[in-house]
Amino acid sequence: MQNKYDKLSLGFIAGLLLPLIVFAVAMYFQYTNSFQIRYLGFEYLISFTPKILSLSICSNLLPFYVFLQTNRMNGVKGVLAATFSLALFVFILFIFV
């Protein structure tokens, strides 16, 4: 019997939201002082963004492990799809920024 929480879309949403929340929190704590942004420059902030985003993708290990331990394989597939999508996005950012 399939669990009602064993959905590919649920894993994909969890795999997208958690790294973006971690990224937002990291950026908030890193650059709460607007003087830092003015001093370092907006270009520096933009060039530093893909690095923080790539580290925040590691937070996908948590939903991956939870879905794996509860035997929800469709959720695991969704988290992996979101991870690869974000990794491709970060790769494109590294190339163009």
pLDDT of residue 18 exceeding 90, the answer is yes
Q: What is the pLDDT of residue 28?
A: 82
Q: What is the pLDDT of residue 48?
A: 78
What is the C-alpha separation between 80 and 83, in angstroms, rounded?
5
Q: Which two tokens stand for residue 43?
A: 């270009």
pTM value?
Answer: 0.84
Better-predicted residue by pLDDT, 90 or 34: 90
pLDDT in tens, 25-75: 988 887 766 666 666 666 666 777 888 899 999 999 999 999 999 999 999
E strands, 16-72, where? none
Domains of the chain, residue spans: 8-96
CB 72, CB 12: distance < 8 Å: no
Q: What is the pLDDT of residue 16?
A: 96
